């Protein structure tokens, strides 16, 4: 699991772990299992109420903090002068990992609130709270506006074989940004898709593996599947030992384009 995406001088582990709904002791066990398997890119958010659990798993792994790429997100109702910094400081305390690697605005608010939040994210970089900043669920006009105020590294958006992100991908590539793909397995729906089942069989891989490989073969795209069980975590990590042909890549792209 050493494949990484290089953007400027940054190296982001291509395959991440989504942690939404991983909670408490069982959640911590899943994140610990993931780290043991080799996951180093961990995606959390204030909204998930599990930053402390994610931080515990990281510290208990005994691995060097520098090996990890930890993303967290601030909820739009906190894009105010009064709330923003205290909320970031709360994330830092809960994660207890020294710093955040990538701090995102979870969803856009109105333009004025987004502008303020971007200015405050710049301050977070200067204070050493986070190394990188970015946004999530921003459309292209909002992303362009954010980039005028801060050094946006990433837009995290919903992306899977049923969601067409052609335009956003073009913008991401033109500007050498990272696209983090959330809900990459369409919450498990991909596994029941007969076209994907047939294609996965051709590669002797599971549908989840096929779909995750499809992301890995796209430039600057990092999928963050959530998995609770060790079986799924392991299965999802085994996507670096085969290559999908260009023609089969297009077959998967076409699932979204047809809709």
Ligand X SMILES: NC(=O)c1ccc[n+]([C@@H]2O[C@H](COP(=O)([O-])OP(=O)(O)OC[C@H]3O[C@@H](n4cnc5c(N)ncnc54)[C@H](OP(=O)(O)O)[C@@H]3O)[C@@H](O)[C@H]2O)c1
The closest residue (CB) to ligand X is 18
Least separation, in Å, of the C-beta of 213 and ligand X? 12
Q: Pick one of 26, 77, 166, 229: the residue that binds ligand X (CB under 6 A).
A: 229
Alpha carbons 220 and 227: distance in angstroms, whole number: 22
Length of the chain: 259
Toward ligand X, which CB reaches closer, 17 or 150?
17
Question: What minimum distance in Å lies between the beta carbon of 139 and ligand X?
Answer: 13
Pseudo-torsion of CA 133, 135, 136, 141, nearest 10°? -160
Query: Which residues lie closer than 8 Å to 99 by C-beta, 6 or more apart?
Result: 92, 128, 129, 130, 131
Task: Name which of residues 134 to 163 contact ligand X (CB under 6 A).
Answer: 136-137, 156
Q: Residue 2: name the closest of 38, 42, 43 by CA.
A: 38
With CB under 6 A as the contact rule, the residue among 4, 191, 217, 238 that binds ligand X is 191
Among 18, 27, 108, 161, binds ligand X (CB under 6 A): 18
Q: Which stretch binds ligand X (CB under 6 A): 12-20, 117-125, 145-153, 161-169?
A: 12-20
Residues numbered 66 to 105 that lie near ligand X (CB under 6 A) are none
Kindly tell me which of 75 and 99 has the beta carbon lying closer to ligand X.
Answer: 75
Residue 238: CB minimum distance to ligand X, A: 10
Q: Of the listed 20, 39, 47, 48, which one is catalytic?
A: 48
Q: Is residue 57 within 8 Å of residue 35, measured between CB atoms? A: yes
Stretch that binds ligand X, among 54-62, 80-88, 108-116, 231-239 (CB under 6 A): 231-239
Q: Judged by CB under 6 A, does residue 26 bind ligand X?
A: no
CB 135 within 8 A of CB 152: yes
Active site residue 129: no
20 binds ligand X (CB under 6 A): yes
Q: Which of 113, 235, 248, 253 forms a contact with ligand X (CB under 6 A)?
A: 235
- 205-210, Cβ contacts within 8 angstroms, sequence gap of 24 or more: 205/239, 205/242, 206/235, 208/232, 208/235, 208/236, 209/235, 209/236, 209/238, 209/239, 210/244, 210/252
Strand segments (E) across the chain: 4-7, 10-13, 16-18, 41-43, 69-74, 100-105, 130-136, 152-158, 178-182, 221-223
Please select the residue that binds ligand X; options are 69, 225, 252, 255, rule is CB under 6 A.
225
Total H helices, total E strands in the chain: 10, 10
Binding mask 168-187 for ligand X (x = CB under 6 A): --------------xxxxxx
Positions that interact with ligand X (CB under 6 A): 18-20, 43, 106, 136-137, 156, 182-188, 191, 206, 208, 224-229, 232, 235-236
Active site residues: 48
């Amino acid at each position: 699991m050493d494949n990484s995406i290089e953007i400027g001088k940054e190296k982001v582990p291509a395959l991440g772990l989504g942690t939404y709904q991983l909670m408490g002791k069982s959640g911590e066990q899943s994140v610990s299992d993931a780290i043991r398997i080799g996951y180093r890119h961990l995606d959390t958010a204030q909204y998930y109420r599990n930053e402390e659990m994610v931080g515990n798993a990281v510290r208990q792994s005994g691995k060097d903090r520098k090996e990890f790429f930890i993303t967290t997100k601030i909820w739009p109702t906190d894009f105010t002068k009064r709330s923003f910094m205290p909320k970031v400081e709360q994330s830092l305390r809960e994660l207890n990992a020294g710093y955040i690697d990538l701090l995102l605005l979870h969803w856009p608010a109105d333009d004025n609130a987004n502008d303020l939040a971007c200015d405050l994210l710049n301050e977070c970089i200067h204070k050493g709270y986070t190394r990188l900043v970015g946004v999530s669920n921003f459309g292209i006009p909002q992303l362009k506006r954010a980039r005028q105020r801060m050094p946006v590294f990433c837009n995290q958006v919903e992306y899977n074989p049923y969601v067409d992100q052609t335009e956003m991908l073009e913008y991401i590539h033109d500007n050498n940004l990272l696209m983090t793909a959330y809900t990459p397995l369409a919450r498990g729906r991909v596994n029941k898709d007969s076209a994907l089942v047939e294609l996965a069989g051709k590669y002797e891989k599971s549908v989840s593996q096929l779909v995750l490989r499809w992301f890995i073969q796209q430039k600057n795209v990092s999928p963050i599947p959530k998995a609770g069980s060790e079986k799924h975590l392991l299965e999802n990590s085994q996507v670096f030992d085969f290559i999908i042909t260009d023609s089969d890549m297009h077959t998967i792209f076409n699932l979204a384009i047809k809709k």
